[in-house]
Amino acid sequence: MRTNRTVAAIGTATLALGASTALALPANAADGDAMLSVLHGVPDLTVDVYVNGDLTLDDFEPGDLAGPLELAPGTYTVAITASDAEDDSDPAIGPVDLPLEADMNYTAVAHLDAEGTPTASLFTNDTSDIAAGEGRLTVRHVAAAPAVDVLAGDSPVIEGLENPDEQVLDLPAGTVSASVAAAGTTDPVIGPADVDVAEGVNTIAYAWGSLDDDNLALATQTVEGMDSAPSGVDAGETGAAAEQGTFGPAAVGILGGFVLLLIGASSVMLVRAAREHNNS
């Protein structure tokens, strides 16, 4: 099991049914840059996101996934406020310092902790080579819920996954059918359903929302271009029901005008057996 570094926890949130998202992004940015995506996983809380004091994402809604941004390495201060805030002086989450290293791929997630308190976590996306004929599936638990098992049929292939942990599996490319249940049980709270595990792609599935409020939802993100074969190349953004937009003027000044993608697409996360990675 790999545990991410939790970077902030502050405030409270009202809970309601959220939406799923899907995003595909290339594995690597320009040499020396970091890649950063941002997922909003706090139900019923539309927010503004400030980076280094400038408004970067306006009216960011639950289930939305923004990015990827190509950023110079360094530490970026992120604050998340109510959508009608005039500035970042009274954030709902943060401010959070996100240290980004060169040539790394990250996703920052605003979500609920296991007790239902808003928090933010920074995950490092695994962009190491994937063997020919295989794909990668990363499962991240960012929901207000106890530990979960991921089942293939009635058999658990991931056991006791806790918020805010993840597990990474490399498995043969193809369609995987499975479900998510409370740890130690076989009664699904998500699924069963099928998910496509594509060759050379890291499909990242986030369980978010609240079990008690019956609004668990899934968001997915795919990082492409990890084929081990020499012919493998980075792919662009793909995914169902994608919409493109741009950052506002303040974001352009700080991030150099990088593209924002807001996507609303339904998806589920599911797994079969493979390996788990440790995260420092």
Burial of 213-230, coded b for 16+ CB within 10 Å and e otherwise, reads bebbbbbbbbbbbbbeee
CB 204 within 8 A of CB 170: no
pLDDT (tens digit per residue) in 22-48: 444 556 556 789 999 999 999 999 999
The pLDDT-based confidence of 155 (bands split at 50, 70, 90) is confident
Q: Sign of the CA dihedral 150, 12, 80, 32?
A: negative
Over range 67-84, report the average pLDDT: 94
Over range 102-129, report the average pLDDT: 96
Over range 112-123, report the average pLDDT: 95
Statement: residue 269 has pLDDT above 50: no
pLDDT, residue 27, reads: 62
Ranges of beta strands (E only) in 101-227 are 105-112, 118-124, 134-144, 148-152, 155-161, 165-172, 174-182, 188-197, 202-210, 217-224
Note the pTM of the prediction, 2 decimals.
Answer: 0.73
pLDDT, residue 202, reads: 97
